[in-house]
Amino acid sequence: MASTLEAPAVRTAEKEAAPRPGRGADAARRTAAIAAGVSRRTVAVIAFVALWELAPRAGLVDRIFLPPLSEVAPALGDLAANGQLWTDTRASLTRSLSGFVLAIVIAVPLGLVIGWYRPVAELLGPLLELFRNTAAIALLPVFILILGIGETSKISIVLYACTWPILLNTISAVRTVDPTLIKSARSLGLPAPRIFQKVVLPAAVPTIFTGIRLAGAISVLIMIVAEMVGAKEGLGHLINASQQNFAIKDMYAGIIAISVLGLIFNQILVQLERRFTRWQR
């Protein structure tokens, strides 16, 4: 009797322990898909690196003004070894992050208010239209004249440049929320503050983050331009000083450092966006 009852249990255990057919094939397909995705993302970068290396060596461009990448990489290593690269990167990062964070703190609440309350939008609309069409670079001399050539003017110009993409995307995010969602919330008897908190704000987050990512790229670019105009340290100062001293390899090393910094900055913002919009997936 006992052996009769134990036999099905033994067969069930053996069936569970046996490998499922197709599991290895699925893993292989997933691995192949990941490898194909990585290849598609890197093929353009590899082609650009190869072109940079081969064009000067083939005489397509003057290698004095565009040295091969293999000659620029040691210069980047030397700048990192003597500490200049880290000092300049820290200075640029501090300035750009300060203006960027201040822009988020100011522009997101202001954009939510303008997008949600029509009287505020009608009051501030003409002023916003005036300043949004004024390039930050054009106002850089004004910032320097008023605030001086120190840190305040650099952070302020970054703040000004980063405010507009965040502000405009936040306003658009609030105004383009699906009206059906708002009507449904009102039909349930929710007051306006709760509708804004539970419906409008979550629906607006993806578009707001689009503006934040745009502002992140702008913060680095504007900071570099501001440092080229007047600064004693920073990646912009490094590039400008290298160009004036005809240290071409150091100049390209600084450009590479800026590109890597912008890439890392963008990836951090992408991860934050995924963290705050998990509900959307």
Domain with residue 112: its CATH number is 1.10.3720.10
- Give me the pLDDT at residue 118, please: 82
pLDDT at 2 over 80: no
Confidence of residue 102 (pLDDT cuts 50, 70, 90): very high
Percent of the chain whose predicted confidence (pLDDT) is above 90: 18
Question: Cβ distance 138 to 226 under 8 Å?
Answer: no
In a domain, 63, yes or no: no
Q: Are residues 99 and 28 in the same domain?
A: no
Q: Are residues 52 and 73 in the same domain?
A: no
Distance of alpha carbon 158 from alpha carbon 95, whole angstroms? 8
Q: Domain boundary at 35, 57, 79, which?
A: 57
- Give me the pLDDT at residue 5, please: 46
Q: Domain boundary at 37, 57, 77, which?
A: 57
Q: Are residues 8 and 142 in the same domain?
A: no
Residue 120 sits in which domain range? 69-280
Q: Are residues 171 and 263 in the same domain?
A: yes
Total tally of structural domains belonging to the chain: 2
Mean pLDDT in residue range 79-90: 90
Mean pLDDT in residue range 42-57: 86
Q: What is the mean pLDDT of the chain?
A: 82
Q: Are residues 53 and 74 in the same domain?
A: no
The residue with greater pLDDT, 30 or 43, is 43
Distance of alpha carbon 27 from alpha carbon 4, whole angstroms? 38
CA distances to 119, 128, 192 from 123, rounded to whole Å, are 6, 10, 21
Q: Domain boundary at 13, 32, 57, which?
A: 57
pLDDT at 15 over 60: no
Q: Are residues 100 and 127 in the same domain?
A: yes
